[in-house]
Amino acid sequence: MRFWLTQATTSAPEVDYLILALLLISCAVLALVFGLMLLYMIKYRAGSGVDRGALAEKTWRLETSWTIATLVAFFGLFIWGADLYLRLFQPPPDAMKIYVIGKQWMWKIEHPGGQSEINALHLPIGRPIALVMTSEDVIHDFSVPAFRIKHDVLPGRYETLWFQAVTPGTYHLFCTQLCGTGHAQMTGEIVAMTAPEYQKWLEQQGASETLAVAGKTLFMRNGCSGCHGGNGIGGNQARSTVRAPALAGLYGSAVTLANGSVVTADDRYIRDCILLPATQRVAGYPPVMPSFAGQISEDDLLKIIAYIKSLATEKPS
Amino acid sequence: MSATTIEPSEYANSYLTDGFTLRSWLLTTDHKRIALLYLGSITLFFFIGGAAAALIRYNLLVPEGMIASAETYNRIFTMHGVVMVWFFLIPAVPVTLGNFVVPLMLGARDLAFPRLNLISWYLFIIAGMIAIYSLFVGGVDTGWTFYTPLATEYSKGHVVATVVAIFIAGFSSIATGLNFIISIHRLRAPGMTWYKMPVFLWSLYATSVILVLATPVLAMTLILLAFERIFHVGVFDPALGGDPLLFQHLFWFYSHPAVYVMILPGFGVVSEIIPAFSRKRIFGYYFIVWCSISIAVISFLVWGHHMFVAGTSIYSAMVFSILSYMVAVPSAIKVFNWIGTMHKGYIRFDAPMLYALGFIGLFTIGGLTGLFLAALGADVHLTQTYFVVAHFHYVMVGGMVSAFFAGLHYWWPKITGRMYPEMWGRLGALIIFIGFNLTFFPQFILGYLGMPRRYHSYPPEFEVLNVLSSAGATILAAAYLLPLAYLTWSLVYGERAPANPWGATGLEWQTQSPPLTENFDETPIVTDPPYNYPPPEVVQHRV
């Protein structure tokens, strides 16, 4: 039985400081409330002859002072909590991406190198890691108490959760959003390891091909290359019957949509383009792309996105 | 019990003797009889919900779960939540104590719409029957929150039947809310200006405004949920182009204000009892009154704090965080004012006062732990764990149920014409306080250590605290059975109650106990401000 929890990430101590501050403030307020209550219960009990003096008729001075004191204290706590939250949910750009798929009642993890695991996540310490998460069915929640982080995993979209582990060890992974009968079994372990050990683990897994390579096969098989061209160089009238935007160099760039808005081409955008193309029409191209909703599994989507991402470094011809 | 200035006398006639047939009860339009019908009904639901709670604590005695099936466990805690929230906590104080006391406090003969009042009870009973039906045919496994798409596409439970029950119960709430609002506007006794109203009436007014404005949103949300489940219309299911978070927004837009529907009447009860047993005018009347109103208003603007890790925008989370702190300010002010009321008072420790003091203690802990959850960075770690479970039980069970018992003991002589046994009452208040803390305090620690809520089984390191919590629950269960026993006993053997056993102000004490069907022989006229307690030398009271 332990009453403390390992601080296994860079942000864990920060969360604990905030909780500790809240705890101290609460204890002070509780001491005040219970102390005054007990004091008055004894001092002003009906049988006590203590002099009550004249009753104060005007209360507004006291009222305004404790109202203002409460407001100031609450505002301070708000700023503290909000500042931490901002940092907890804004991943640094150089974070290593690992993909997470939740389904009733298991977690599937896809590493960029093509290694995949079930109900376990091996990761290196000392570098920021961003989990890109989605669900195949209901809402789940990816929660690691030792990391002090959690986020819901929603069907139909990608949510990102990031952290930087510092302490090697094995930690609990819980699904904390009620997801049906096997909710309590939807757990796993997070194995934080040093960088060389992680490298060794990756090699032992012996993945046949990286996510991007697997994605290229899917890119061909699903007919994406027909319009977007082999290697995603873009289609034009000369090469194919349909003119479609180039995908090389797309990832991470700014895209102007037909409705005039400008979006960044991240995982979420590419996913929406594949499943809901009508909502993501790129300016200057006809709305001819069919929706692939329901035809490509979440696993395969991740691979296709990884492939498109791998084209980012190549410039369109 | 010692003598009082007003001798208890046996009244030949009262609302209780006005007809003894079943028909005279089931077709009554007397607010006092309807209050008793409601009291019987919610007591039944309280013990159904309590039995489910007992099974939950039984299951969690061992890490692998005492109840073999996770599916069964999920259905048990869902039923616990549904029954306790909609069939006990939300109605509890308004429809029983409120129904009985509001017209008496107003100096009125009845509520504005007596028949509507009866209809609201029948709606409540129909809703309750459907809820019990869905329980007996197998129940629901979605949690009382019905998150989509689990509740719409994946759950195999009786979601639609349960949702229909809650939908109908909602109309009962709206009817009660309307009745209170109009009664308070129209039926105040001559001389009773708004600022001469007891705080209990202000609290119920604020509660009723929330009931009338928020419950329709719940009704719409539940209709959409049922439609989605039956016809797969695609409002909430992303596979059909819907948005699963939309359900959460709509659900909490009702369900957060509903938390204040549960607690505001409790504030009202405590605001009656603290001055009465401190023999002193309430401290900061205007502040307490306007705190209730501001809570009712701000409570509509904080629903997003249930969704800090759900996938909403970071900036909307910040707005909801600051608003959540804002809604906590008036509650804090109230606590300070109750303590201010005790200052320089002549405090007596009858059972209602002990329950009310217990309320202040437990509610303060519940409120303070709410600050943890409103702080965004801390919420990320604590939400969806047992910390949240402990927090809202401190507010809704520790706070609200203590306030309900405080009010029940306070007005018991008025309602039944009998005194409850004082020593048993004090003992009950004490055991509830102890049992409650033993049950729920360990859950704060469990939550910080990361134990998720709604888990049928858990890692072995959480066992000690879970066993502790379950042990506390047995004490709490006994503590809840105790009042049932001695209050029932007092119906027959209790000492006859005088009109005003506490020497309290308030019009309800100026008529006989139990009151006549007509409430007052002649309409009372109000000249004094509320809580105008005379110095204790003037009135000798029971010790």
Write out the DSSP string of B172-204: HHHHHHHHHHHHHHH-PPTT--GGGS-HHHHHH
Q: Are residues A145 and A172 in the same domain?
A: yes
Task: Please write the tens of the pLDDT for every residue from A271-287.
Answer: 888 888 888 778 778 77
Which pLDDT score is estimated for B93?
Answer: 95
Domain boundary among the residues A205, A226, A244 is at: A205
How sure is the predictor about B543, in pLDDT bands with cuts at 50, 70 and 90?
Answer: very low
Which pLDDT score is estimated for A248?
Answer: 81
Q: Does residue B190 have a cis peptide bond before it, meaning omega lies within 30 degrees of 0? A: no
Q: Does the pLDDT of residue B10 top 60, yes or no?
A: no
Angle at A149 between CA A202 and CA A29, to 5 degrees: 155
Give the residues of chain A that fall short of pLDDT 50. 315-317
Assess A67–B contact: CB distance below 8 Å, yes or no.
Answer: yes
Residue A57 lies in a domain: no
Average pLDDT over residues B82-102: 96
Residue A187 lies in a domain: yes
How sure is the predictor about B249, in pLDDT bands with cuts at 50, 70 and 90?
Answer: very high
Higher pLDDT, A276 or B312: B312
Which pLDDT score is estimated for B487?
Answer: 96
Q: Are residues A102 and A16 in the same domain?
A: no
Residue B495, both tokens: 């000492």
Which pLDDT score is estimated for A239?
Answer: 55
Assess A62–B contact: CB distance below 8 Å, yes or no.
Answer: yes
Q: Which domain holds residue A14?
A: 8-36+62-88
| Cβ A291 vs Cβ A275: under 8 Å | yes
**Chain B, 351-380: which have a CB under 8 Å from a chain A CB?**
357, 360-361, 364-365, 368-369, 371-372, 374-380
pLDDT over 90, % of chain B: 89
Interface residue of B381, B437, B465, B466 to substitute, partner A, most A CBs within 10 Å: B381
Which pLDDT score is estimated for B369?
Answer: 96
Q: Are residues A150 and A181 in the same domain?
A: yes
CB–CB contacts below 8 A, A to B: 258
Higher pLDDT, B476 or A280: B476
Which pLDDT score is estimated for B539?
Answer: 45
Domain boundary among the residues A174, A205, A236 is at: A205
We report the CATH number of the domain holding residue A293 as: 1.10.760.10
Query: What distance in Å separates the CA atoms of residue A42 and residue B217, rounded to the nearest whole number?
Result: 48
Residue B320, both tokens: 């909801």
Of B238, B309, B456, the CB nearest to A155: B238
Task: Please write the tens of the pLDDT for every residue from B434-467.
Answer: 999 999 999 999 999 999 999 999 999 999 999 9
Q: Are residues A174 and A236 in the same domain?
A: no
CATH number for the region B29-510 comes to 1.20.210.10
Domain boundary among the residues A205, A230, A259 is at: A205
Q: Are residues A229 and A195 in the same domain?
A: no
Which pLDDT score is estimated for A234?
Answer: 66
Ranges of each domain in chain B: 29-510
Residue A52 lies in a domain: no
Q: Does the pLDDT of residue B6 top 70, yes or no?
A: no
Determine phi and psi for B77, rounding to 5 degrees. Answer: -70, -25
Assess B68–A contact: CB distance below 8 Å, yes or no.
Answer: no
Assess B223–A contact: CB distance below 8 Å, yes or no.
Answer: no
| Cβ B158 vs Cβ B138: under 8 Å | yes
Average pLDDT over residues B372-389: 96
Residue numbers in B near A25 (CB within 8 A): 368, 371
B378–A18: do the CB atoms touch at under 8 Å? yes
Which pLDDT score is estimated for B540?
Answer: 45
**How many structural domains are present in chain A?**
3
Residue numbers in B near A81 (CB within 8 A): 321, 374-379
Task: Please write the tens of the pLDDT for every residue from B270-297.
Answer: 999 999 999 999 999 999 999 999 999 9
Residue A51 lies in a domain: no
What's the mean pLDDT when you consider all of chain B? 92
Residue A73 lies in a domain: yes
**ipTM attached to this prediction:** 0.91
Task: Please write the tens of the pLDDT for every residue from B329-354.
Answer: 999 999 999 999 999 899 999 999 99
Which pLDDT score is estimated for A272?
Answer: 85
Q: Are residues A30 and A114 in the same domain?
A: no
Average pLDDT over residues B225-233: 93
The minimum CA-CA distance between A26 and chain B, rounded to whole Å, is 6
Average pLDDT over residues B250-271: 95
We report the CATH number of the domain holding residue A151 as: 2.60.40.420
Average pLDDT over residues B209-227: 95
Q: Which residues, including other chains, have CB under 8 Å from residue A105's CB and lie 6 or more apart?
A: A175, A179, A180, A181, A182, A183, A185, A186
Angle at B440 between CA B436 and CA B441, to 5 degrees: 105
